[in-house]
Structure 1
């Protein structure tokens, strides 16, 4: 027993020596490699890294990924505001690859959010992820109106919004945008994607659950549309109008809307995954019939198994 303890004591200096060498090896890495490593960490950990050595003290201000969306411990309202404001004030990288923020405090001022997004826009952000998940005491979701600076981010390639209010201006340009994902977003006007010529994928999750929605996209790149509806859409006489001539695939899941209208499409594949996949009632039959009647102009139409079963149960011809 004494020998083992002695061995452990003798081994301790060696272990510390190895750890010191490892720290020295990491410290000798080029700045771009260290910044790449830091880009995988949430910002509060990136800031902590500044205490490791003099070299790290200012290195973190060059990190290209600003992730304020991962909270391993609870931040107060003032805490998250102070963290983000301080990081953005000291940050001096010319461009931002990713900017992510998760806001779950209802009292955070909108002018602070506007300033953060304006900062990201001015630094040619490529990927923007904004989660605004706040509600009042009655549990009603409060949405954040996206500022106008968002619609002129020429470098933006991917945009993900949650719990926001989106009102597209009459004229805007997101010339590099390829992926748009909207979760629990209220689209205040028609979703006109003509200002996104490179848009390839569009996802709508619980958007406009109590109001109609129209999607217009003349873009040749947009081929895939995903829609998921919940929270009682089935009980409202609201529909979805899709005008996207080059759209090839439409995936619809969750509760079904009262009607779907697909315009100016020559070839499309429809894939429905309803909340109750084995139920083929009157509502579903009427919805599918309306949809098929509006697709007489389509040259190529692919239907999922659920649509075929609905047609069979309703004896459609």
Structure 2
């Protein structure tokens, strides 16, 4: 079989048997199977790129050489939706047979996308077969519109698992304390737990964990989410409520080697942080009303994004963001961001990039007459020595915002790029962009090498 036949078969243009007849009669013209002449490792890699294991197994009919080639593919993906309208037992049999016949020395990745007919016993059998093949990555996704799936206790037996990603799973059946000694990546998306202590023990049972992603809803049976991992480098936490959230929810985060932090949660009230001296980047869109060491834990950060619309976090005096070079600040709440901007400009001497944006798109009256009365008492060092890029998206042209724009443009003597984009609507009315542009264009620029761009 040749290259042309290969692509005709896989594109569904002709059937395998039909293609054999067509090309056999032209053997003199097509006598080289170019695909099959490739090295086996390359062929296995090509097969691993196909969407599902069903597609991979289908290649066994291509030629004699391909009959058992699929058994050496190190990544397997199963999706029971492919069997829509067929008996679910066919899917069970296919997955079990594929795992039993698998011959690669290591099963690098197993992805299971399943629906309501899948049981804990089914998952348990597949996990056992995968563990027998030294699995490195396990991904189990249960479709959201079919509730949650209960995981098997056999998951605790893993010694080789490096990455575990779960969606819509019930984890209460996992026996703790367990030890996922090799696990470095853990994703828990919309899981259900058996309580606060279970979460703490589960995360603590992963001593080598480096990457943790937690996407929550408020029916996960956890009030106090404790994350204590010594070597964790990346942490992402997201709360998507199904209904009103009680203000008793809390986080305790103790991750001394963390480098990346991303939290989006408008509902949890309490958060306790320990020092994170190696933190490089933090993105925080939160509403914490009670915090411990919030700003103090961020002082080593190099890139910081903040939206504290509902937060009551207190900014302490005497702290310095000595490494901060990139700051993004949400302007959705005048009562907080203006005060915070003045403090951060004062305490971030190396700041090079400043970006302001109303991420929540609040409408504020452009006729507000109050001015910015929280300007630093002296021009901050970052403006006179380092700030090179200033961007402002959804600029509302209030008196306060105009004061901020004038102050930054006038005092930033090193600016190389400045972009201001007016907001399209204010208080339900269309902005007069022409007037705003004329006003911005008339502002004095402290940097002679920078031209103000108006989007």
> TM-score, structure 1 length as denominator?
0.76
Answer yes or no: is 1:28 the counterpart of 2:37.
yes
Quickly say closer, same or farther: Cα 1:18–1:27, change in 2 above 3 A: farther
Quickly say closer, same or farther: Cα 1:234–1:225, change in 2 above 3 A: farther
CA–CA separation in structure 1 for the residues paired with 2:267 and 2:229: 24
What displacement does 1:119 show?
0.9
The one of 220, 234, 240 equivalent to 1:230 is 240
Quickly say closer, same or farther: Cα 1:180–1:301, change in 2 above 3 A: same
1:239-258 → structure 2 map (5 Å cutoff): 239-253=250-264, 255-258=265-268
Partner SS, residue 111 of structure 2: strand
What displacement does 1:196 show?
2.3
Quickly say closer, same or farther: Cα 1:183–1:299, change in 2 above 3 A: closer
What displacement does 1:175 show?
2.5
Number of the residue aligned with 1:216? 227
Answer yes or no: is 1:183 the counterpart of 2:189.
yes
What displacement does 1:66 show?
1.1
Gaps of 5+ in 2: 1-21, 309-328, 344-455
What displacement does 1:32 show?
2.2
What displacement does 1:130 show?
0.6
Number of the residue aligned with 1:313? 335
1:52-91 → structure 2 map (5 Å cutoff): 52-69=62-79, 74=84, 76=86, 77-91=88-102
Contact 2:184/2:211, CA 8 A, preserved across alignment? yes
**Aligned length in residues:** 284
Gaps of 5+ in 1: 1-11, 275-283
CA–CA separation in structure 1 for the residues paired with 2:139 and 2:111: 5
CA–CA separation in structure 1 for the residues paired with 2:112 and 2:118: 12
Partner SS, residue 68 of structure 2: helix
The one of 161, 168, 181 equivalent to 1:163 is 168
What displacement does 1:208 show?
5.0
- Deviations 1:225-258 (Å, cap 9, x if unpaired)? 11111134653232222232333432112x5233
Contact 2:191/2:216, CA 8 A, preserved across alignment? yes
Partner SS, residue 267 of structure 2: coil
Higher relative contact order (CA 8 A, sep 6+): 1
CA–CA separation in structure 1 for the residues paired with 2:44 and 2:107: 12
Task: Specify which structure has the higher proportion of helix.
Answer: 1
Quickly say closer, same or farther: Cα 1:27–1:70, change in 2 above 3 A: farther
Number of the residue aligned with 2:290? 290
1:139-154 → structure 2 map (5 Å cutoff): 141=147, 143-154=148-159
- Deviations 1:189-239 (Å, cap 9, x if unpaired)? 12443332332211111355453242333322x122111111346532322
Partner SS, residue 263 of structure 2: strand
Contact 1:182/1:207, CA 8 A, preserved across alignment? no
The one of 85, 90, 100 equivalent to 2:111 is 100
Quickly say closer, same or farther: Cα 1:25–1:300, change in 2 above 3 A: same
CA–CA separation in structure 1 for the residues paired with 2:168 and 2:298: 38
CA–CA separation in structure 2 for the residues paired with 1:26 and 1:127: 29
CA–CA separation in structure 2 for the residues paired with 1:109 and 1:209: 21
CA–CA separation in structure 2 for the residues paired with 1:19 and 1:131: 48
What displacement does 1:109 show?
3.0
CA–CA separation in structure 2 for the residues paired with 1:196 and 1:18: 61
> TM-score, structure 2 length as denominator?
0.55
CA–CA separation in structure 1 for the residues paired with 2:259 and 2:126: 36
Which of these two proteins has the greater Rg computed from alpha carbons?
2
Quickly say closer, same or farther: Cα 1:55–1:306, change in 2 above 3 A: same
RMSD, aligned α-carbons: 3.3
CA–CA separation in structure 2 for the residues paired with 1:246 and 1:312: 34
Answer yes or no: is 1:133 the counterpart of 2:139.
no
Contact 1:224/1:250, CA 8 A, preserved across alignment? yes
